[in-house]
Structure 1
Amino acid sequence: MQLPAISAARRLGCTVHVADADPQCPGASRADRFHPVDLQDREGLLLAAEGITDLAGVFTAGTDFSASVAYVAERMGLPGIPFEAALDATDKSRMRAVLRAAGVAVPRFVALSGPEGLEQCRRVLRCPLVVKPVDNMGARGVVSVSDWSQLPEAVQAALPLSRTRKAIVEEFIPGKEYSLDAIVLDGQVHVTGVAERHIFFPPCFVEMGHTIPATLREEDRLLLERGFAQAIDALGIVSGAAKGDLFLDHSRGEPLVVVGEVAARLSGGYMSGWTYPLATGVPLTEIGVRVALGEKPPPALFRAIDDFVVAERALISCPGTVTGVEIPEGTEESVDALFIRCKPGDRVRSPLNNVEKVANAIARGGSMEEAERRALAALDRILIRLAPGDAETDRFLFSESGAHRFARYRVRSESAGRSLSALPPYRGDPAYMRAAATRGEALVVLPPEGWGGGAFLEKAYPTLPAREVLGAMVEDGLIGFAENDRAAPALGSLFWNAFIAAGKQGVVYLLDTLSAGLELGEDR
């Protein structure tokens, strides 16, 4: 997330110092000097800063550590957000208290550091609820709670994910969620983008991408921007950057803006550094760096010169151990940016937060449909290959409730479900299928009655349509369909379970299992 800032600082002629606890972090090799300091260690960062001659500014984007940046800037007498304001924007309980006192709409909440606060939650809150660590990001440990019996476990899971071992329990906010960025100059808020977030997999909150600009009525966009500016002012951010997650609640008739959170930095999730600049041509990160250097960026820098819709979409994996990441030639060139977030040897799982996805693609278009299509097509070409014979992968793909909420597709109707259930796991001799898979031959698949080439399945989250993915696998020689041959050995429900759960990745895992000579059976 810091690479756009490093590039921007270089364009401005700066000598770039990068600090991180990990000497292998992506920015280390791009720095003029690297400082191996944990970003939670404010005194260590200050000591490193004091050793830099003519230090002119301190900056971060998309991290948990805006308070560390503010601490160093304040102690060094450099431009920046006041340390106390950054703390208010970092700790969700402090943030909500400050915003509520200023009349900004926030959900009712209770802050707690252990089970002793649960009774207060019952007294003042109404289900459904959301539990969050107070000072983490990426939706780590954030879950919804629909029943009071679920609350103790959710709180106990959230507390260890907080650096201060505190959590908040708040009432669930209905409505769509939007992300906004802003640059603040002398108290004047310049909102630089409004994106719609695409959240899936309850009770977790996993963002499978965002689209910018959000599809909004003009009056709703202005409501969001005014609510964001009011929150920024209440937190005392008068010069610097701010990022907000806001909800537009229409459940009570008149639209109401409710603030989910405001951070004292530019956004992560590829918005400030990639999607907003691609949509508008505005160098947002460079503007943020200029403000951190004490400059007043000219109005022309804020002026959009492009008018694209940009979609960022994510790829998730079923659980297992990565043996290879296959990216066909031309995939990277087909989109504006592609990020691979796993490598051979990694253990991956279905995401419970926003840091457990395996790839992200960003694409421009003249419409949301065009941009999303380009991003999803690139992600579908990527194969995260998993080691066969893994018990957790087997359960996810082949057991009745394995994939559950993470299944890529779902059956459109009860009749289609009955047709699918009527299929055997496979037909014929498994040894024949193992030999065919070992030779790299296309394996025959039994289609359910009325399958329509895959039209009986619908997408459960942003991905390509099942019919299209199945057709591509036929073209690639992975599979064929036994629509007119009811005697040859063929895969039945084993294939469909794997495909519905994980698309092509699940099918390739099944084929690799066969070619490795591992057992197939109804108990898988």
Structure 2
Amino acid sequence: MKRVLFLGGAPTQTPPIKYALEQGHYVITCDYLPDNPGHKLAHEYHNVSTTDKEAVLTLATSLNIDGVVAYASDPSAPTAAYVAEKIGLPGNPYASVEILARKDLFRNFLALNGFNVPRSRSFYDMDSAKIWLEEIGVPAFVKPVDSSGSKGVTHLQHLDDFEAAFDHALTFSREKKVVVEERIVKADYQVAGDGFIIDGQLVFHCWADEHFDKLCNGLVPIGQSFPTSHADYLLEVAYAESQRLLTLLDMKMGALNFDFVFSEDGEFYFLELGPRNGGCLIPEVIRYSTGVDLIKYTVDAALGMSCKDLIMKSPQGYWSSYMVHALENGVFKELRISDRAKEYIIEQNIQVKTGDKVNKFSGSHDTLGTMILKYPSMNVMLDMIDNMEKDICVITE
């Protein structure tokens, strides 16, 4: 029986826990939230923060684990790499994972190695950041260097709003450091999706168009639609640049989560390349659309099991995830779903009930439920998800 330590037991982190249990592994979970549902599934739970790498290392050593998994969590990914490196478990170089998980380190690495990168600098103090902002101008992005789920991010439109944006970013940063960078004007949709590395090679990738709700927050994804609508020649550039980056970082194995754009002049820009599986049900939609189970491979790879049977497969049909969310603060009354949407919904998990307080969607922490949908065509899919308030709407009072 293999002993697997999972860093985190949030609702989005339960799929690999369930898979490990199905395989007969001994499951251990840890984080600082004992009520998370993953802990109820595990054989044992420990109240240890997943970002405290020394505490997790001590725990992992005492438990004699065979593998460590940080699923769908940027903050936990460096901890998993650190623990694996220290006790000789399968994993990637800690220094490389830290670069990918921190926006300031990532931007610096991209610039030093000749990748396209927006003008970007990171600051501990507001005064220095303001001088830089005046140089690059607005619109600009103000972000914590180390948050996930778009928490703490502001798309700054006016210089007068900078101080509030900087303070907002600080509240979501463990490092208390903020990135200020120019906005790249993108052509068409931002691209998201997941991939998987085996022996240093990006053997699988599945990319999607990423969608945002223009009515409440243009920064937090509400879903991803598969396959992406971008042209093959652009995606070939994305693949080549991704492999070049992975080789430079000596990344060896495991899941990746992509976010990138193509600028108006056709240039490729990484936004993020997370050293972990994506959230927003990305692995689940990939499993529906390609038959490839990245959840399984993530656990297997962490235990040193062979993943040689993983091969590239393209999506079949038209699929999306969708994050159910409120357009305003209030009390949840009901969820209205059109007849058309009911026909397309394959899975749904609604986590809110009548009378619950809800917040206007500002980050992944405001998600009220999740759905997976299958559509009859690309055109129907894109039109529907870009105007989803017509088909799926949270009613508040």
- Report the TM-score, using the length of structure 2 for normalisation: 0.86
The correspondence of residues 238-249 of structure 1 with structure 2, limited to 5 A, is: 238-249=252-263
Q: Which 5+ residue runs of structure 1 have no aligned equivalent?
A: 377-459, 470-502, 510-524
Question: 2:388 matched to which residue of 1?
Answer: 462
- 5 Å-filtered alignment, 1:71-470, equals 71-122=82-133, 124-175=135-186, 176-201=189-214, 204-249=218-263, 251-252=264-265, 255-272=266-283, 274-299=284-309, 301-304=310-313, 307-317=316-326, 318-322=328-332, 335-343=345-353, 346-368=356-378, 461-464=387-390
C-alpha displacement of 1:314: 2.8
1:27 equivalent in structure 2: 38
Task: Give how far 1:169 is off.
Answer: 0.4
Counterpart in 2 of 1:5?
A: 16
1:59 CA drift (Å): 0.9
**C-alpha contact (below 8 Å) 2:90/2:303 kept by paired residues:** yes
Seen in structure 2, the aligned counterparts of structure 1 residues 17 and 99 have a Cα distance that, compared at 3 Å, is same
The answer to whether the 8 A contact 2:14-2:38 is kept is yes
In the aligned structure 1, how far is the partner of 2:198 from the partner of 2:311?
12
Query: Any conservation in 2 of the 1:311–1:372 contact (CA below 8 Å)?
Result: no
Could you say what secondary structure the match of 2:33 adopts?
Answer: coil
Seen in structure 2, the aligned counterparts of structure 1 residues 118 and 334 have a Cα distance that, compared at 3 Å, is: closer
SS of aligned partner of 2:146: coil
The separation in 2 between residues aligned to 1:200 and 1:463, in whole angstroms, is: 9
Count of residues in correspondence between the two structures: 379
2: distance between equivalents of 1:504 and 1:344? 11
Equivalence for 1:68: 79
Summarize deviations over 1:272-331 as a string: whole Å, max 9, x none. Answer: 2x11111111011111222212233123x3353972321112332231134677999xx9
Check whether the contact 1:320–1:349 (CA below 8 A) recurs between aligned residues: yes
Supply the distance in 1 between the matched residues of 2:315 and 2:211 (Cα, whole angstroms). 24
Q: RMSD value over aligned CA atoms?
A: 2.8
Q: Which position in structure 2 is the counterpart of 1:48?
A: 59
Inter-partner Cα distance in structure 1 for 2:376 and 2:238: 24
Q: 1:18 to 1:371 in 2, by over 3 A?
A: farther
Kept in 1: contact 2:334–2:395 (CA 8 A): no
Q: Write the letter of the residue equivalent to 1:93.
A: D
Percentage identity across paired residues of the two chains: 24
Q: How has the CA–CA distance of structure 1 residues 51 and 324 changed in structure 2, closer, same or farther, with 3 Å as cutoff?
A: farther
Q: Deviations over 1:93-119 (max 9, x none)?
A: 011101111111121101011212234
C-alpha spacing 1:48/1:123, structure 2 compared with 1 (3 Å): same
What stretches of structure 1 move > 6 A for 4+ residues in a row?
323-328, 331-334
Higher strand proportion, which one? 2
CA contact (8 A) 1:185 1:296 kept: no
Contact 2:205/2:312, CA 8 A, preserved across alignment: no
Structure 2 residue ranges without an equivalent (≥5): 1-11
SS at match of 1:336: strand
CA distance, structure 2, for counterparts of residue 184 and residue 142 of structure 1: 29
* Structure of greater relative contact order (alpha carbons < 8 Å, 6+ residues apart): 2
Change (3 A) 1:48 1:326: farther
AA aligned opposite 1:184: I
How has the CA–CA distance of structure 1 residues 333 and 215 changed in structure 2, closer, same or farther, with 3 Å as cutoff? Answer: closer
Confirm or deny: 8 A CA contact 2:325 2:394 kept in the other structure.
Answer: no
The separation in 2 between residues aligned to 1:345 and 1:42, in whole angstroms, is: 39
For the 8 Å contact 2:280–2:322, the answer to whether it is kept is no
Pick the structure with greater CA Rg: 1
The CA deviation at 1:124 is 4.2
**How far apart are 1:504 and its partner, in Å?**
7.5
Structure 1 residues 177 and 46: alpha-carbon distance in aligned structure 2, compared to 1, 3 A threshold: same
* Partner deviation per Cα, 1:202-241 (whole Å, 9 max, x = no partner): 7750212110111121112212222222333333322222
Corresponding letter in the other structure for 1:311: S
Q: Equivalents in 2 of 1:282, 1:262: separation in Å?
A: 20
- State the shift of 1:366 in Å: 4.2
Q: Deviations over 1:43-83 (max 9, x none)?
A: 22222212224x21111221131011111111221011111
SS in 1 for 2:26: coil
Q: Distance in 1 between matches of 2:314 and 2:112?
A: 39
Residue 214 to residue 326, structure 1, CA distance change in 2 (3 Å): closer
Partner AA of 2:350 in structure 1: I
